[in-house]
Homo-oligomer: A and B are copies of this chain.
Amino acid sequence: MEAYENGYFTEENSVEVVTGRNKNAKDARLKEVMDVVTRKLHEAVKELEPTQEEWFQAIQFLSRTGQLCTEWRQEYILLSDVLGVSMLVDAINNRKPSGASESTVLGPFHVEDVPLSRMGDNICRDQKGEDMLVHGRILDTEGQPVEGAIIDVWQANDEGFYDVQQKGIQPEFNLRGVFRTGADGSYWFRAVKPRFYPIPDDGTVGKLLGNLGRHPFRPAHLHYMIKADGFEPLTTHIFDPDDRYINSDAVFGVKESLLAEFRKVETPARIRELDFTGPFFWEVEYDFVLART
């Protein structure tokens, strides 16, 4: 008979009895994780006092959410996103020194091995959407330019879709670019104005959002992943502050410091100079500040 320390399970001692079983865990961190998860789970159950039916609804929700996961669809990441857990984990792992640019979620649409572009290239490869010029500098926290920074940028098109969501419709690598800064730390490229879009909302998470009276939309943004030797990598977005969903991002990715100005430019000479065709273009200027490792 095994050691019997905490008595049989009761409503009162439930946490101690369950976590007491973890004393022979093979890994101290796993034990810590399961101790905390068990305690918070029991606290939630004690506060909510679910009926057996509610408990079973939760079981079904969790099961179905897992069953929706495939190589191409990760419903549990969506659940983590809409409950603010992804952003919280991001915040905890990216506490930056004062002055450095803030991070936000990576999202599911990053692609590896995008070919290096030349500064100024247009990352829009299908001529659809409203022209946009994006430029700025990569700086250190003393305001000095960072040479040789690799800027990996990606965005949805003006209909709210990434290339990988529309294979065969959008060209490969559409609205993706990788750039390398020179000695002055500056970058610039041409693109199209992004648009808000919904996270995949035809699964359990979309239904939950609907039942909570929440919409599934993310405000228009550009994704950046910036790396440079001697600096912490930065994964972040910049956002259009005039987007209708800017204050209600379904995944809570927006931060005050990541609001960029999307300025409308209607100067014909400048339009021609940039090889744009429309009567106007959007100009976005944004500097990123990297933290030294």
Contact = CB atoms under 8 A, between A and B. Distances in A.
A52 interface: yes
Contacts of A202: none
A25 B67 contact: no
A203 to B, nearest CB: 12
Contact of A36 (B8, B48, B89, B255): B48
A65 B67 CA distance: 9
A27 interface: yes
A246 interface: yes
B22 A212 contact: yes
Secondary structure of the A side of the interface? helix
A88 B9 CA distance: 9
Contacts of A63: 65-66, 69, 74-76
A48 B32 contact: yes
Contact of A213 (B4, B23, B51, B247): B23
A223 to B, nearest CB: 16
Contacts of A256: 8
Interface in A2-51: 2-4, 8-11, 14, 17-18, 21-27, 29-34, 36-38, 40-51
A97 B55 CA distance: 23
A275 B52 CA distance: 42
A293 interface: no
A125 interface: no
A88 B36 contact: no
A31 B211 CA distance: 9
> 10 closest A-B pairs (Cβ-Cβ)?
A66-B66, A24-B213, A4-B247, A18-B84, A9-B252, A63-B69, A40-B44, A11-B91, A40-B40, A55-B89
Given A26-B210, A66-B67, 17 more contacts: A1-B244, A8-B255, A9-B252, A11-B91, A14-B252, A18-B83, A18-B252, A21-B248, A22-B213, A23-B213, A26-B211, A32-B48, A40-B41, A42-B85, A50-B92, A63-B74, A63-B75
9 contacts: A2-B244, A9-B253, A17-B84, A17-B252, A31-B212, A32-B48, A45-B89, A64-B66, A66-B76
Interface of A: 1-4, 8-11, 14, 17-18, 21-27, 29-34, 36-38, 40-52, 54-55, 59, 62-69, 74-77, 80, 83-93, 95, 208, 210-214, 244-248, 252-256
